Amino acid sequence: MHDKRVEKKRNMKNKIINLTKENAGFLDQMYETPDTLVVRIDGSKINSWKEYIEALDPFIHFPDDCTDDADRYHDWMTDLEWLGKKAYVVIIDHYSALMKNDLRDKKLVYEIFEEDILPFFHDEVEYVVGPGRKKPFNVYLVD
């Protein structure tokens, strides 16, 4: 007999999801579990890379400063084992206002999630980190 939970996990796809504010109300209830880290930040209050890292740090507790180093941020965000969670959710409210005067760094934030962090936790973690396990990791961009 095939276990539906195993099938669901196998087909899990970590994603970046765009939502309107009106359609984002379900997020708080959906992820209320002790095994899930929910990071919710306000993009309208973040104007630079440094402010972005400072907004994440109270949730992530980076072991080392990432405010001036995107590579270090990448390394820590593709680890997160010190947090002891089974799933991760990042919600950026007012995404269109995030770094509105620094579009290069805003693009970098998006690309690191899309090209590195989400694929890493989708499958790369199993052969890069021993013993690594796939973990749900979704990013919600809310406007």
Largest separation between any pair of C-alpha atoms in the chain: 55
* Own/partner long-range contacts of 101-105 (Cβ < 8 Å, ≥24 apart): 101/47, 102/47, 102/48, 102/49, 105/48, 105/49, 105/52
Structure tokens at 44: 């309208």
Specify the pairing of strand 87-93 against strand 137-142.
parallel
pLDDT one digit per residue (tens) for the chain, 143 residues: 444 443 344 456 899 999 999 988 888 777 888 999 999 999 999 999 999 999 999 999 999 999 999 999 999 999 898 999 999 999 999 999 999 999 999 999 999 999 999 999 998 887 776 667 889 999 999 99
The C-alpha atoms of residue 113 and residue 118 are separated, in whole angstroms, by 6
Predicted pLDDT of residue 12: 61
Predicted pLDDT of residue 91: 96
Q: Write the CB contacts of 43 (distance below 8 Å, at least 6 apart in sequence).
A: 92, 93, 94, 95, 96, 97, 98, 99
Q: What is the reported pTM?
A: 0.88
